[in-house]
Amino acid sequence: MRIARVPIIVALELLGGAWAIVGGIATWSLRPAGNGWPCALLIGGGLLSVCAGYLLGRGRAQGVRLSFVVQGIQLVQLVVPKFAFVMVLGPSVVVGLVGNQLGFRAAIEEQALLRFGFDGVPLRIEANLLAIACLLALRGIPHSPAPTIVAVDVEVSAV
């Protein structure tokens, strides 16, 4: 099924995914011994983003579904005592609370963090406004194949 193209989201996902892949590969050698999973998570997220952007650009329904996943994982950045989750793949416009200050930033960055038992860091609750805008734009695009209607000709003869 062909769907309407969304060129800005396609560009964001392709370029952001490529940026995340390059960042993950570049930081692989800087990781502590035995702790390569954040780099692998970043590279995996980048590959997912590139696939989503490519399929969305080709007008495929799978691209819409993957784009929902890519934008969804970038929606919230949360660091609280005992738990941290941050995933950013490329361009972001973020607003939220860091410590006791309200903050805003626009950047091209790659971050991957998933940790349990995380102490000694300031509270961080942020929302990615660019991901929210992309999700709202994707909402109106059909992402499941249209039902196929098959016409059947039947001949009935009187006996």
For the stretch 112-133, pLDDT in tens is: 888 887 677 788 899 999 999 9
Is 127 inside any structural domain?
A: yes
Is 59 inside any structural domain?
A: yes
Is 158 inside any structural domain?
A: no
Confidence at residue 159, expressed as pLDDT on a 0 to 100 scale: 58
Q: Going along 5-123, which residue ranges are E strands?
A: 76-80, 83-98, 101-116
**CA-to-CA distance for 96 and 111, rounded, in angstroms?**
16
| Lowest-pLDDT choice from 22-31, 103-112, 139-148 | 139-148
Domain extent at residue 126: 7-139
Is 99 inside any structural domain?
A: yes
Is 2 inside any structural domain?
A: no
Domains contained in the chain, number? 1
Whether residue 28 contacts residue 39, with contact meaning beta carbons closer than 8 Å, is answered with: yes
What pTM was computed for the model?
0.79
Is 19 inside any structural domain?
A: yes
**CA-to-CA distance for 92 and 110, rounded, in angstroms?**
9
Q: How many CB atoms lie within 10 A of CB 58?
A: 13
